[in-house]
Amino acid sequence: MPKTFKNFINGKWKSASTGETFDNINPADSGQVLGRFQKSGKKDVDEAVAAAANARKSWRSMPAPRRGDILFRAAEMLVKDKESLAREMTREMGKIIKETRGDVQEAIDMAYYTAGEGRRLLGETVPAELPNKFCMSVRMPVGLVAAITPWNFPIAIPSWKLIPALVAGNTVVFKPASDTPVSAYNFVRLLEKAGLPPGVLNFVTGSGTEVGVPLMDHPEVDLVSFTGSTDTGSQVAQHCARQMKRFSLEMGGKNAIIVMDDANLDSALEGVIWGAFGTTGQRCTACSRVIVHRKVLKKFTDALLKRAQSLKVGDGLDSKIEMGPLINESQRQKVLKYCKIGVDEGARLLTGGDVCKTRATRKGFFFQPTLFADVSPGMRIAQEEIFGPVLAIIACNSLEHAVEIVNDSRYGLSSAIYTQDVNHAFKAIETLDTGITYVNSSTIGAEIQLPFGGTKGTGNGHREAGTAALEIFTEWKSVYVDYSGKLQKAQIDN
């Protein structure tokens, strides 16, 4: 019998009011049920929100360095449990063990870095325009945060939301993706053990419609922090706008790498393969387009083909495996559909394009590493987010042309250029319309001390991680202290 996991509300682990559960399965072996999770409903959401609302006052009045101490403890516990957390994550999410270790490491980095905000949370002191007067700005918590997270970074992305929200003095109701609830549970359990008081962090599992919607619609929720698809993100925006709530959205990408004729092609090859097929292409930052200068197109395409065909696909717990399965069957069908669209549009399928059919991969949601050549920038496979191991190769004639192709997208998350020419590198940094640009590196691999997020359809102007995260999770308060002992009128007495 698989273990049954519960919700965490007001410091207690409890079953959902519905009495129902859902199964969490291993995408590398879909017959394997890893656990049963609560199929919660509105009543559970109401209870979790009430607990978070109740804890608001005491949590925001705890000195921020003390809140940071709890998060430092969580960082230490993550270090200690890194290997077991990574293994459980590979089992439920599918990405290879090296990558799930990286996922946990990202949460460790986030916890250490952001716990330190407990002793910073910097504001400004500025001169006053009148004598005997003092001015400063301080950061205040927003209030009650709903964190809604995806399955592709089952601990890292929750850490981007929960840790800055908590250190800033907010209380949280956390709804994880239903494909990866074990990792979310492990993270919450660890934060509980690190010493969060009851009600400060609540955890409710279940579907988007039964948990996500009532959560973001709840009038006590002040802020919704969401990472996921652009379609769902736009729903979140509409729900939040009705109640004038604050919301931050981190959504799709159609990230591209430019390979110039002066690039180090060996290094570019590694970067493109890693960007396109790492996490089985299921990163918002995945490289799904490579824009190659015509002068090196044939050589680079041949090298890509050789490397893509040699990738070892299988169970991510086996350390020799380079690419795991897709998350579930419906994602696999979506990727398959896009491969058919690519062929119909006239792109040339070089390799892949179908589900894996070997003995070792029969039981899971595996897909072949796929390359399309002769892709033109307007094709659907070059415009729409596929979220799978499918790479479109597009030819360009110059840097200007390449940048035009990269920017011809509704998304603007990550971009990269491989070049040995410093002028090309800086021109690309200046003109690529994305939130992140890499020079001589892949589109993936963002570090937590910098802002993470994108332009255009990727987001709504906010950034996660770094100190930028505090812009979402805090409100500014401007403070004026007049110690003149009399009424002084700004703009009038000076």
- Binding letters toward ligand UN1, positions 99-128, x by CB under 6 A: -------x----------------------
Phi/psi of residue 191, each to 5°?
-70, -35
The active-site residue, picked from 240, 284, 356, 396, is 284
- 424 near ligand UN1 (CB under 6 A): no
Strands (E) across 397-473 are located at: 411-412, 414-418, 436-439, 455-456
Question: For ligand UN1, which is the closer residue by CB, 201 or 446?
Answer: 446
How many helices and strands (H and E) does the chain possess? 14, 21
- 44 near ligand UN1 (CB under 6 A): no
Question: For ligand UN1, which is the closer residue by CB, 152 or 202?
Answer: 152
Cα dihedral across residues 60, 61, 65, 70: positive or negative: negative
Helix or strand holding residue 126 (H, E): strand 124-126
Stretch of residues binding ligand UN1 (CB under 6 A), selected from 90-98, 262-270, 439-447, 481-489? 439-447
Indicate the length of the chain as a whole number: 494
CA-based radius of gyration for the chain: 24
Q: Look at residues 211, 55, 82 and name the one whose alpha carbon lies nearest to residue 143.
A: 55
- 445 near ligand UN1 (CB under 6 A): yes
- 152 near ligand UN1 (CB under 6 A): yes
- 444 near ligand UN1 (CB under 6 A): yes
- 95 near ligand UN1 (CB under 6 A): no
Choosing from 108, 111, 240, 284, the residue that interacts with ligand UN1 (CB under 6 A) is 284
To ligand UN1, the closest distance from the beta carbon of 252 in angstroms equals 10
384 is catalytic: no
Q: Look at residues 35, 33, 45 and name the one whose alpha carbon lies nearest to residue 6.
A: 35
250 is catalytic: yes
Question: For ligand UN1, which is the closer residue by CB, 28 or 286?
Answer: 286
To ligand UN1, the closest distance from the beta carbon of 319 in angstroms equals 21
Choosing from 37, 113, 153, 203, the residue that interacts with ligand UN1 (CB under 6 A) is 153
To ligand UN1, the closest distance from the beta carbon of 15 in angstroms equals 31
Report the half-sphere exposure of 178 (CA within 13 A, side-chain side).
17
The set of residues, in sequence order, having a beta carbon less than 8 Å from that of 92 and lying 6+ positions away, is 24, 25, 26, 27, 34, 154, 179, 180, 181, 182, 183
Please check whether residue 213 is in contact with residue 236, taking contact to mean a CB–CB distance below 8 angstroms.
no
To ligand UN1, the closest distance from the beta carbon of 207 in angstroms equals 21
Q: Which residues bind ligand UN1 (CB under 6 A)?
A: 106, 152-153, 283-285, 444-446
User: Catalytic site residues?
Assistant: 250, 284
